[in-house]
Amino acid sequence: MRISKSWEEKCRRCGRCCYEKVEHEGDIYYTDIPCEKLDQATRLCTVYENRHKARPGCVRLTPRIIARGVLPADCPYVEEIEDYRAPHPWPEEES
């Protein structure tokens, strides 16, 4: 997929999608584990231009991937998706 400049410019660089997520029974959950390439002070990826080689698990954002619910509900990439289901926090374990 060719990435256009306008596609890239939608990102507000909040870094919230750069936390590990888990999929469980068809739902996607956030974790509080950041990607090791995320600079938590600037909220920017430290290997952005080379991220798919430097961090093989980094998912390329395409419209199909985004529609699976991997981005927060207020992310500009999902604002026009009807009935978008954002990731949820992992339920607290009962003690």
Binding site for ligand SF4 (CB under 6 A): 11-17, 71-72, 75-77
Rounded to a whole number of angstroms, the minimum distance from the CB of residue 95 to ligand SF4 is 32
3-state secondary structure of 19: strand
Rounded to a whole number of angstroms, the minimum distance from the CB of residue 41 to ligand SF4 is 15
How far is Cα of residue 52 from the mean position of the Cα atoms in its chain?
A: 14
Q: Which is closer to ligand SF4, CB of 82 or CB of 93? A: 82
Helices (H) and strands (E) in the chain, counts: 3, 5
Rounded to a whole number of angstroms, the minimum distance from the CB of residue 83 to ligand SF4 is 18
